[in-house]
Structure 1
C-alpha cells in the first residue's frame, strides 16, 4: 500500500475510484454574488456518495485495503467519515466497524448502520475515540483508516475535476486537516496561482500552530459545525498546511456559521450541514479584498431531519 502523498498517487486514486463516485456539480447564485461582492462558485460535495467528500478517500482506502487482504476496516468518526468508510467497505466486500462519540448526530449514526457498519460508542473526546478504536482494531485484526492522518485518505480526497481557470481562490472547512492537506497539496503543485483558504471555528486558532508551533489548548471544539470539532490537525497534514496555507487561515464566529447556513438554504435550496456552511462563512464575512472569484467547497450535507437553525 502506498505511503507517499503525491500528485501521481492522487491521480491514481481518482482513476481507481471514479466509476463509483459522483462528479459533483458546480452551482452559482447571483444573489449570493451580490451579497458577497464577488463571484462565488459552490463545489457540491454534499451531493457526493454518502453525503460528503469523505467517500473519495474512504473508497480509495477500502480498495487498497482489500488488495492487501485486510480482514476488515475500522475507524473512529463523528459521522461523515464513518458513513463513507462503511459504504466503501460494503462496495468492496469488507466488514467495517466504526467507533462513534456519544454526541454524534443521530442521522449520521443511522447512516453508518444502514451501510452495515458495526457501531461502537465511546466518550466524546479524541482520546476516548482513539483508544477505543485502537483496542477494537487489535481485537478484530482490522485495517485502521484514520479520518485525518492517513495517506490513502489524503490521496483519495483530491478533487481533480472542475478546478477551472475562472477561480482565484478556494475556501474549505478544516478539522483534522486531511481534506485541507489534499486540496492544498494538489493546488499548490498544479495551480500555485490559486490561494487555498482554511476556514475554522475561531476556538481552533490554527494560525497559531502553523506560524508559531503552538497547539490549540482544547482537544475538542464546541461548535455547531460538528464535522470539525476535532481541534488538532494530523501530523501528516500539518507540514503541508504550514507550507501552503500559513497565511490563509480564516476564523469565524458561531453566529456567522448560522448566517451562512441560512443563506445557502434559502438562496440555493441546498440542504448542506453546518460544517459546509463554515467554509462559506469565511467568504461571506472575511473575504480578502483581492479575492474576486472564489470556489467554496460544500463538504457535506448530512443533517438531522429535525435540525432547525436557531
Structure 2
C-alpha cells in the first residue's frame, strides 16, 4: 500500500507508546568494518532489547492500537522474535496472546514464549508462509484479531520508524544503512521515515531472497517455498506493505550465502564481543561483502 500521508504522525504515536518501554540501544563504532568499507561504520545492537530484538517495538505499538480499537486478545504467526515481542507486550498490557509457530521453530524460543504467558501452537508445516496461511484460517474461525509480523503499517512505524529516529538522534550525519530484509517490517519503516538514510542497502539470505525476487518481477512475492537457512527470521515472502515502501527506495540488494551468514556471527563475536543471531548477522555478512556500495546512486 502507498505510504500514508500521516506516516510521521504514526511514528509520533508509536514513539509515545514504545519510547518509555524499550531500551535505547547503542550504536557502536566498528573499526574493522570501517577499514573494510573505507568509511566510518557503526553497528546498531538491537539485540540488547529485553526480548533480544527490535521487533518488540512494533509489537508494543500494534498491540496498543488494537486495545484502543477494543481488542481483548490477539494472535500472530512468528518464527520467534515477533512472537516474543508480542508476548512481552501482551503481558505488559494484561492481554492473552496466541502465537502460531512453524513446526521447526527453535524449542528455546517456543519455551520463552510460554514463559511469557503466551499460548503457543506449533504448526504442522515447517515453513513460515504455510504456517501463516494456516494460522490466519484458525484465528478467523476463532474471531481473534491477528497482528502481522511485518505486513502492517503500524508494524512498519513501530519497528523501522521508531528505530530510524533513534539512530538519527544518535548519529545525525548517518548516510547509509545496511539492514536485514525478510518480510519488510523493519526496512519498510526505515524507507518511509523522513529520518531515513540517503542509501538503503537490503541484506538477504540467498536461500530466501523475497525482496530481490519481488524487484525482478515488479510485484511483491508474498509466498515462498520453505527454505533451509540459518536466518530463519528472514525466511519466506515479503509483505505487500513493506515491498511498496521499498520498491523505489532501496538502492542495493546483497544476497549472502549460509557460510557468509555463519562467518558474520563469528566475526561479530570476535570483533565486538556480542553473540547475535544469524538473521541479524545477514547485515554484517553483507557489509563484509566487497560488493556493498556505501555511496553513489
Same fold (TM over 0.5): yes
Q: Which residue of 1 aligns with 2:94?
A: 93
Distance of aligned partners of 1:205 and 1:143 in 2 relative to their CA distance in 1, 3 Å threshold: closer
Alpha-carbon separation, structure 2, partners of 1:144 and 1:291? 40
Unaligned regions of 5+ residues in structure 1, if any? 293-310
Following superposition, the deviation at residue 172 of structure 1 comes to 0.8
Q: Is 2:267 aligned against 1:263?
A: yes
Distance of 1:90 and 1:81 partners within structure 2? 14
Tell me: CA distance 1:91–1:289, structure 2 relative to 1, closer, same or farther (3 Å). closer
Q: Which residue does 1:185 correspond to in 2?
A: 192
Match of 2:206 in 1: 202
Matched residue SS, 2:200: strand
Show the counterpart of 2:150.
148
Q: For 1:132, which of 134, 155, 165 is the aligned residue?
A: 134
> Which of the residues 197, 219, 228 maps onto 1:222?
228
Deviations 1:198-245 (A, max 9, x none): 100123163342143264984233211111111x21111111110201
Partner of residue 296, structure 1: none
- Report the more deviating stretch, 279-288 or 12-21: 279-288
Q: Distance in 1 between matches of 2:222 and 2:106?
A: 24
CA shift for structure 1 position 27: 1.1
Q: Cα RMSD over matched residues?
A: 2.2
Distance 2:21 2:223 in 1: 40
Query: How many Å separate the matches in 1 of 2:58 and 2:117?
Result: 19
Structure 1's consecutive aligned runs of 4 or more residues displaced over 6 angstroms after TM superposition are: none
Which of 283, 287, 291 is the matching residue for 1:279?
A: 283
1:241 has 2:246 as partner? yes
Give the Å deviation of 1:83.
Answer: 0.6
Does the aligned pair in 1 maintain the 2:56–2:85 contact within 8 Å?
yes
Q: How does 1:1-310 map to 2 (within 5 A)?
A: 4=4, 6-122=7-123, 123-157=125-159, 158=161, 159=163, 160-163=165-168, 164-186=171-193, 189-191=194-196, 194-203=198-207, 204=209, 206-213=211-218, 215=221, 218-230=224-236, 232-245=237-250, 247-288=251-292, 290-291=294-295
Question: How far has the Cα of 1:282 moved from its partner?
Answer: 0.9
Deviation at 1:289, TM superposition (A): 5.1
Alpha-carbon distance change, 106 to 57 in structure 1, aligned in 2, over 3 angstroms: same
Higher relative contact order (CA 8 A, sep 6+): 1
Gaps in structure 2 of 5+ consecutive residues: none
Q: Deviations over 1:119-164 (max 9, x none)?
A: 0011113453123312331344321001110122111112111322
CA distance, structure 2, for counterparts of residue 226 and residue 57 of structure 1: 19
How far apart in 2 are the matches of 1:137 and 1:130?
Answer: 10
- The change in CA–CA distance for 1:161 and 1:287 in structure 2 (over 3 A counts) is farther
How many residues get paired? 285
Determine the C-alpha separation between the residues in 1 that align with 2:222 and 2:138: 28
**SS of match in other structure, 2:51:** helix
